[in-house]
A and B are shown apart, each in its own frame.
Chain A
Amino acid sequence: MAVAKPESGPREVVEEYPDIKVRITVNGVEREVMVKPYERLIDVLRYKLGLLSVKEGCGRGECGTCVVIMDGHLVPSCMVLAIRANGREVVTLEGLAPEGMIHAVQKAFLDTLGVQCGFCFPGVILATKWLLDRNPDPSDEEIKDALGGQLCRCGSYLRFVEAVKLAAKYIKEGRTYFDVEDVKKELYLRG
């Protein structure tokens, strides 16, 4: 309950915020978390569940680095209250491929050298995955629309269309997952 501090204006009210229990299926696993009413989905995913692919760029719906797939919709996790995810299914980058594998979308962006610093990429990859789930064979226009909200400060945009088309091709060929070790060898990647 709200308790007013003496001699304070109407805004200086000391408010209490309850802990609310929410159940969210994150990357296929049901998780139970206690959240505050004002906490956002990004706060829960990144700070409570340790899913560090979910990044806060702007915190105001403008950049797309925080997007996740919730019940099949691409949503900005910085603008969805955690309580709204109760009972829903959320997919982050960590949940795209089984252990030891990467998803065709990730492989395609590596192949096309579409990634520079990589900060924006969790969002770009999820937006691409969301697009290809709904539309396995998108046109250039459709790709530009789907990725139009993913800001990339390195300006990797020019490779986006090419990479998405390659990912679509892999998936159509049934090559949805790639073994990480094979990819490392093929692309001379270290680490």
Chain B
Amino acid sequence: MINILRFNVYIPSSLEDALEFLKREGVEAAPMAGGTDLLVLMRDGVKRPRKVLDLWPLRRELAFVKRGDGWVRIGALTTIEELNASGLARDRRYLGFMDAYKQFGAPYLRAIATVGGNIGTAHPLSDVVILLLALDAEVRLVSVDGERWVPLSKLFRGKRETVLTPTELITEVRFKETPKGSSTVLLKFDRRWGHSMGYVIVGAYMHLDGGRIADVRLAFDSMGEPYPGRAFKTEDFLKGKEFRSEVISEACSNVLPREMRRIDDYRASAEYRLDLSKVLMKRALLKIKSRIEGGEAYGGS
């Protein structure tokens, strides 16, 4: 038997119990949701928590997709599979979730990987995070001492680093319902469809008002930092302008490169990544437009 890893597990009886545990032992412990990221890091020796806090029992309280009062709320322990089954992705405005689902790993990962875990990994190639950034989502962090809401765009501090303290858990993420005439998309450029991490990922939201870009938000796997971020300047450039090919081309080719810094590594060169970013951004905007105009059947790719 290959027991590469050895650790103890704390099985909490409730959210309060889990938070008490983190208060006592949080510094030496790691919360585990689906474990699809954590277990790999532990296997590789990158993370060595003495104890693992099993979050799965909290699914009773924290696995949900709820809509009401103008908000969409997603529980941290909702799996990628459940997010898709929730029906959110069948709303024309949120077709981006369909994209995220289809491109996410393999079916057997979607069954256990969670939304909260996608956020907790703080990895540049977290698909759901990139879409949620484009939806201007905020994250609820809870500890025994209270709770706070942090905008997703302010949650990451470095690669695999967030502003969470060791005593806090992510319990849910929420975003405002978007207006009619808007839609979302998530595009991932990958060597192999779905199963591995992409080279470049773009998540986008756009609201068109009679041919004019009333609002737009663009999120990429990286804007220069080793975590996902928004292209705020490019968004500002596009806002209020007519949706015309010259405008879009100008934004992709000239505005975006001014605020985006790409890295060279063994997977791809910076030049190639930047080029892909421009192309994917253009495709994303065109796709949203066709979604808004109903030119695409639900779920079509």
A residues with CB within 8 A of B: 2, 11, 13, 15, 17-18, 36-39, 43, 47, 56, 59-62, 64, 67, 73-76, 79-81, 83-84, 127, 130, 145-146, 148-150
Is the Cβ of A73 less than 8 Å from the Cβ of B81?
yes
Is the Cβ of A61 less than 8 Å from the Cβ of B105?
yes
Q: Given the complex, which residues of A lie within 8 Å of B194, measured CB to CB?
A: 145, 148
Is the Cβ of B6 less than 8 Å from the Cβ of A17?
yes
Chain A to chain B contacts (Cβ below 8 Å), 8 pairs: A15-B8, A39-B3, A43-B1, A62-B195, A75-B108, A127-B108, A148-B107, A149-B109
Q: A38-B9, A84-B54 are in contact. Are A56 and B107 (CB under 8 A)?
A: no
Is the Cβ of A76 less than 8 Å from the Cβ of B40?
no
- Give Cα A81–Cα B48 distance, bound, in whole angstroms: 17
Considering only CB atoms, which chain A residue lies closest to B37 in the complex?
A: A61
Q: A59-B43, A83-B54, A148-B195 are in contact. Are A75 and B111 (CB under 8 A)?
A: yes
Interface residue range, chain B: 20 to 34
Is the Cβ of A145 less than 8 Å from the Cβ of B9?
no
Judge if B5 is at the interface, Cβ distance under 8 Å.
yes
- Give Cα A39–Cα B2 distance, bound, in whole angstroms: 9
Is the Cβ of B9 less than 8 Å from the Cβ of A79?
no
Considering only CB atoms, which chain B residue lies closest to A72 in the complex?
A: B111
Secondary structure call for the B interface:
loop
Per-residue interface assignment for chain B, residues 11 to 44, with 1 indicating a CB less than 8 Å from any chain A CB and 0 otherwise: 1000000000000000000000011100110010
Judge if B140 is at the interface, Cβ distance under 8 Å.
no
Is the Cβ of A38 less than 8 Å from the Cβ of B6?
yes
Is the Cβ of A75 less than 8 Å from the Cβ of B112?
yes
Q: Contact partner of A149 among B7, B8, B50, B105, CB < 8 A?
A: B105
B79-124 interface (Cβ within 8 A of A): 81, 102, 105-109, 111-112
Is the Cβ of B193 less than 8 Å from the Cβ of A149?
no
Q: Given the complex, which residues of B lie within 8 Å of A2, measured CB to CB?
A: 50
- Give Cα A27–Cα B3 distance, bound, in whole angstroms: 25
- Give Cα A2–Cα B8 distance, bound, in whole angstroms: 11
Q: Given the complex, which residues of A lie within 8 Å of B4, measured CB to CB?
A: 59
Q: Given the complex, which residues of B lie within 8 Å of A67, measured CB to CB?
A: 108
- Give Cα A11–Cα B3 distance, bound, in whole angstroms: 18
Is the Cβ of B105 less than 8 Å from the Cβ of A60?
no
Q: Given the complex, which residues of A lie within 8 Å of B108, measured CB to CB?
A: 61, 64, 67, 74-76, 127, 149
